[in-house]
Chain A
Amino acid sequence: MKQKHQNPNTNPTTSSGVTTDMRVIVPLQGLVQGGGSGLVLGSIIPCALFYFFQLYFKSKNPTTPPPSPSSQQPPDITPPPAGGLERVQSIRSIWSPRGTNGQAQVSSRASLVIKQPDSPYYVGLEKALVDPYHGLRNPDGIIQLGLDENKLSLDLVEDWIMTHTKCSTICQELQVNGITNYHPYDGISDLKMAVAGFMSQVTEGRVLFDPSNIILTSGVSPAIEMLVFCLSDIGNAFLVPSPYSPDLDRDIKWRAGVEIIPVPCRSSDNFTLSTTSLNRAYNQAKKRGLKVQGVIISNPSNPVGNSLTRETLYDLLDFATEKNLHVIANEALAGPTNDKNLEFVSLAEIINSQDSEEYDRKRVHIIYGLSKDVSLPGFEVGAVYSFNQTVLNASKKLLRFSSVSSLSQRLLVSMFNDSRFVGDFIKINRERVERMSDLFVGGLKNLGINCMKTSHGTYCWADMSAFIRPYSEKGELELWEKLLNVVKVNATPGSCCHCIEPGWFRFCFTGLTESEIPVVLERIGKVL
């Protein structure tokens, strides 16, 4: 793996003001008190400048009349970004149309966000946040199964941080990096290298990731949003296999103003993505006059949990090539699994492999996150891996809006460099997740609820269609509401994930402890 040493000085896109030589640790005692020398210098500057300017401008021009303050010119309006104005009409279709009055109101984009509370996904999340279950302190609270977060191995991270970070580390970080300058917005090279190494581990060494093709953002959502901004204009569209994660509606539509065209997948073929349905969705988009810029997949799929097969990935790339589209692969949930039947194949592997000359690398962009696999919620780090130099360059500039704190980056670098810890962590975390998965999914089975066979992610996709009446979205939402308000369990209904078959629910179980599983199962059993 080639190590591209990122010297901040030679990178023209950074504004870092310090060379590696200048990273001198300023000794406290060495501070100049500022008195005498300052005054002397304070009078030399003016003389020198005076001399310089008189000489320079005498040579240029005998007399220069003092410029008068310019009279009030008509203000020139900084021209809008290309294509800004003519797009105004098309964006109205994405955000709710606004009345002509009330200018101190918020924008159409904001209105979309304010309407969000109507969605069951967010209603459930908010309620569970306000009244969270706790075995001792709040046993009647809401058990949160709607938040895709892995808390099973927090103790390992906690222990590591407590033993490895001391004041001196932080001080050194501040001296050397935190204070003296802004960092390259796209992440420090040490962390990029560590992330590249980690991503290689996830693919079990089959792919070597080049750190110079990586940019780091403050999470997976900003990564997705940023790519969408780079790859499409307002009013364009992306094809997204459904069911998909409810967060995607936010990430793509809210600020970027891009449409999602769902590509429905069905349980009859295990929610597999097919070229037929891709083509159908693409044609539908065309009929509506929407320009499709790409396809966004998640692999493993969220919420279904299955990994895309090699064949599916090849079909997808064929489709993308034929229609000249981008492919964004959200592989943030990827992780090694013990089950050989559910092998995870990264899109990077396909692109890198021998027969990939037919696929243009510049259309593939992979997202990876650290909050799921390495169970580091709170660190807020997402990574984008792309072969497209223009996208990388634009992204680096866009990252000023969502960059990772230097403190977190340094902590993560130290953590990743402790390869023994990382190896142990992955192994133990995987075991714990698989155990929870077996317990939870097994428990649901005993209740008569079957789940999709998954690659042991942090959630399961459960078929509760037998328990909804009527067999429709209405019936599904009634069950969701009973779960939330009657037995106090927050799960994500399939309609929030745009699943065309009613009755499916996503349960995230890695926020639970083992002892809480029987409690949850008992509660769920009550509403069936």
Chain B
Amino acid sequence: MAIEIVQPSVGLSKIAVSQTHGENSPYFSGWKAYDENPYHEIDNPSGVIQMGLAENQVSFDLLEEYLETNLESANWGQKVSGFRENALFQDYHGLQSFRKAMASFMEQVRGGKAKFNPDRVVLTAGATAANELLTFILADPGDALMVPTPYYPGFDRDLRWRTGVQIVPIHCDSSNGFQITPEALEAAYDHATSMNIKVKGVLITNPSNPLGATVQRKVLEELLEFVTRKNIHLVSDEIYSGSAFCADEFVSIAEVLESRNYKDAERCHIVYSLSKDLGLPGFRIGTVYSYNDQVVTTARRMSSFTLISSQTQFLLASMLSDTDFTQKYIKINRERLKKRYEMIINGLQKAGIECLKGNAGLFCWMNLSPYLEEPTIKSELAIWNTIMHEVRLNISPGSSCHCSEPGWFRVCFANMSEARYASLVSAMIINIIKFSIFLAIIF
């Protein structure tokens, strides 16, 4: 009888087998439930309605219109002299015309209240890559970034997974509309220090996901003062900047820096992307904008791992440089988002369901805490489960955003086109009524 020698199976890394990608959280399992049983008005009316995906489809028609009228005359692909140099090169510096266009677009989104230098624009394949890239650059494994709660669930993955960096939450609560306070900053920092963890920076999202609200100017100034005092970095993820309902209410860190003549700017870095404001997630266009030369240089070199294809840059460069179009787009996009937001909020208010007063983003932050059996995450997840499986609605529970108060939920309203919005909402209502009737029968 031969002795069987069993070869040990070849090993994989901790990263490959870890759960740090976080995709088993309710946030993502809601998507899975939707993927497996998506609602469709004709083919699957009992499917799950998706209100858990923060995407922007409200202004798609404007893009379509632009392309139809402009692309032929712009002769994309037929500019013989420009094509070889522009559409088929590979260089991590990126197409200069595209970087200029991005800088210009970022200026317009901020109403011209801040200037952006194209040479500080570093291109990445999406904001996800930009956030990870900055984390690699600013922190070593074991170090930490402070992030205010509630925050985008994807950060657990983007900031921690491959980088080995930790997240120290800055706890915010509803007593002041979840705004960051100096006390909360100090508490988080001290807690990290007491555990011998080096904090390398603070990362905020402005406007905030999931709150759907902009960060106040005063808070930005306090943040700047804090990071300067602690000698750490500040990253401002501003991917929803074009989704602020009212241009005046959004204050970018860039504006604050400009007003101070760029004092302490070298510790500040901005992340931006076209996925939310322009609704082009498939094109993978993100950017790191840094006021720190070392960071720009490093990010540029590291962007070799996450390049944007030059055809994409080439195509979008002319669109983003067309200021007539971009100004019109930004304005109309804001108006439409505001209208949808008001519709949902007013309705919920009449029913006695409170939402956080928001002024930006593709979602609202709904408060169901009065309806919790007990103020615990368990109860919150129980409601969430019911809403998912009985009401057939995918919304995101606050616990997956690390909210310190149970009972809050994020409801997205922009991920369906205008035509479908009405029908989806009516379907949602039908589901709710059906479920309520069912409950009435059994009780």
8 A Cβ contacts from A393-411 to B: 394, 397-398, 400-408, 411
Q: How far is the CB of A286 from chain B (nearest CB, A)?
A: 16
- Interface assignment of B192: CB less than 8 Å from any CB of chain A: yes
Residue of A nearest to B43 (CB): A21
Contact of B125 with A10 in the complex, beta carbons under 8 Å: no
Contact of A407 with B83 in the complex, beta carbons under 8 Å: no
Contact of A107 with B137 in the complex, beta carbons under 8 Å: yes
A19, A33, A39, A158: which has the most chain B beta carbons within 10 Å? A19
Q: How far is the CB of B47 from chain A (nearest CB, A)?
A: 9
Contact of A400 with B128 in the complex, beta carbons under 8 Å: yes
Contact of A404 with B284 in the complex, beta carbons under 8 Å: yes
Residue of A nearest to B306 (CB): A402
Contact of A360 with B9 in the complex, beta carbons under 8 Å: yes
Residue-wise, chain B 163-196 has the 8 Å CB interface mask toward A (1 for contact) of 1101111110111000000011001100110010
Given A64-B371, A407-B309, CB of A362 within 8 Å of CB of B10:
yes
- Interface assignment of B407: CB less than 8 Å from any CB of chain A: yes
Contact of B171 with A81 in the complex, beta carbons under 8 Å: no
Given A230-B13, A401-B129, CB of A104 within 8 Å of CB of B232:
yes
- Interface assignment of B349: CB less than 8 Å from any CB of chain A: yes
What residues on A are CB-neighbors of B419 within 8 Å? Answer: 26, 30-32
Contact of A45 with B428 in the complex, beta carbons under 8 Å: yes
**How far does the alpha carbon of A297 sit from the alpha carbon of B174 in the complex, in Å?**
56
What residues on A are CB-neighbors of B277 within 8 Å? Answer: none
Contact of B231 with A70 in the complex, beta carbons under 8 Å: no
Contact of A75 with B10 in the complex, beta carbons under 8 Å: no
What residues on A are CB-neighbors of B308 within 8 Å? Answer: 218, 380, 405
Contact of B294 with A114 in the complex, beta carbons under 8 Å: yes
What residues on B are CB-neighbors of A19 within 8 Å? Answer: 38, 40, 43-44
Given A66-B369, A113-B301, CB of A76 within 8 Å of CB of B10:
no
**How far does the alpha carbon of A37 sit from the alpha carbon of B192 in the complex, in Å?**
52
Residue of B nearest to A35 (CB): B339
- Interface assignment of A391: CB less than 8 Å from any CB of chain B: yes
8 A Cβ contacts from B12-59 to A: 12-18, 20-21, 23, 28, 31-32, 34-36, 38, 40, 43-44, 50, 53, 55, 57
Residue of B nearest to A117 (CB): B297
Choose from A38, A43, A78 the contact partner of B422 (Cβ within 8 Å): A38
**How far does the alpha carbon of A33 sit from the alpha carbon of B335 in the complex, in Å?**
13
**How far does the alpha carbon of A251 sit from the alpha carbon of B302 in the complex, in Å?**
9
Contact of A371 with B90 in the complex, beta carbons under 8 Å: yes
- Interface assignment of A106: CB less than 8 Å from any CB of chain B: yes
Contact of A167 with B76 in the complex, beta carbons under 8 Å: yes
- Interface assignment of A350: CB less than 8 Å from any CB of chain B: no
**How far does the alpha carbon of A33 sit from the alpha carbon of B419 in the complex, in Å?**
8
8 A Cβ contacts from A14-67 to B: 14-19, 21-22, 26, 28, 30-34, 37-39, 41-53, 55-57, 59-61, 64, 66-67
- Interface assignment of A179: CB less than 8 Å from any CB of chain B: yes
Contact of A32 with B421 in the complex, beta carbons under 8 Å: yes
Contact of A378 with B436 in the complex, beta carbons under 8 Å: no
Residue-wise, chain A 238-262 has the 8 Å CB interface mask toward B (1 for contact) of 0000000000001100111100000
Given A49-B351, A61-B373, A403-B284, CB of A181 within 8 Å of CB of B407:
no
Contact of B404 with A70 in the complex, beta carbons under 8 Å: yes
**How far does the alpha carbon of A134 sit from the alpha carbon of B382 in the complex, in Å?**
68
Q: How large is the interface on B (under 10, 10 to 19, 20 to 34, 35 or more residues)?
A: 35 or more
Q: How far is the CB of A184 from chain B (nearest CB, A)?
A: 11
Contact of A22 with B38 in the complex, beta carbons under 8 Å: yes
Choose from B28, B55, B304, B415 the contact partner of A250 (Cβ within 8 Å): B304
Contact of B77 with A56 in the complex, beta carbons under 8 Å: no
Q: How far is the CB of B35 from chain A (nearest CB, A)?
A: 5
Residue-wise, chain A 400-424 has the 8 Å CB interface mask toward B (1 for contact) of 1111111110010000000000000
**How far does the alpha carbon of A377 sit from the alpha carbon of B310 in the complex, in Å?**
9
**How far does the alpha carbon of A177 sit from the alpha carbon of B281 in the complex, in Å?**
10
**How far does the alpha carbon of A161 sit from the alpha carbon of B156 in the complex, in Å?**
41
What residues on A are CB-neighbors of B21 within 8 Å? Answer: 394, 397
8 A Cβ contacts from A150-172 to B: 154, 157-158, 161-162, 165-167, 170-171
8 A Cβ contacts from A207-244 to B: 218-219, 221-222, 225, 229-234, 236
What residues on B are CB-neighbors of A154 within 8 Å? Answer: 84, 88
- Interface assignment of A1: CB less than 8 Å from any CB of chain B: no
Residue of B nearest to A381 (CB): B309
Given A41-B426, A72-B184, A378-B90, CB of A255 within 8 Å of CB of B125:
no
- Interface assignment of B67: CB less than 8 Å from any CB of chain A: yes
Contact of A379 with B309 in the complex, beta carbons under 8 Å: yes
Q: How far is the CB of B134 from chain A (nearest CB, A)?
A: 10
Contact of B64 with A45 in the complex, beta carbons under 8 Å: no
Given A15-B31, A378-B309, CB of A70 within 8 Å of CB of B405:
yes
Q: How far is the CB of B223 from chain A (nearest CB, A)?
A: 14
Contact of A165 with B77 in the complex, beta carbons under 8 Å: yes
Residue of A nearest to B350 (CB): A46
**How far does the alpha carbon of A360 sit from the alpha carbon of B435 in the complex, in Å?**
53
**How far does the alpha carbon of A107 sit from the alpha carbon of B167 in the complex, in Å?**
16
- Interface assignment of B237: CB less than 8 Å from any CB of chain A: no
B72, B281, B440, B443: which has the most chain A beta carbons within 10 Å? B281
Q: Sample 19 A-B pairs with CB under 8 A, ordered by A number.
A: A18-B38, A28-B64, A31-B61, A49-B348, A52-B435, A53-B368, A57-B371, A66-B370, A70-B375, A78-B166, A113-B301, A114-B298, A167-B72, A171-B71, A179-B279, A183-B282, A360-B9, A378-B88, A394-B12
10 tightest Cβ-Cβ pairs between the two chains A and B: A46-B351, A406-B282, A67-B375, A50-B351, A378-B310, A167-B71, A408-B309, A394-B16, A230-B16, A46-B347
Which residues on A are within 8 Å of B, measured CB to CB?
8-19, 21-22, 26, 28, 30-34, 37-39, 41-53, 55-57, 59-61, 64, 66-70, 72-85, 87-88, 91, 95, 98, 102-104, 106-110, 113-114, 116, 129, 149, 154, 157-158, 161-162, 165-167, 170-171, 174-175, 177-183, 218-219, 221-222, 225, 229-234, 236, 250-251, 254-257, 293, 321, 324-326, 360, 362-363, 371, 376-381, 388, 390-391, 394, 397-398, 400-408, 411
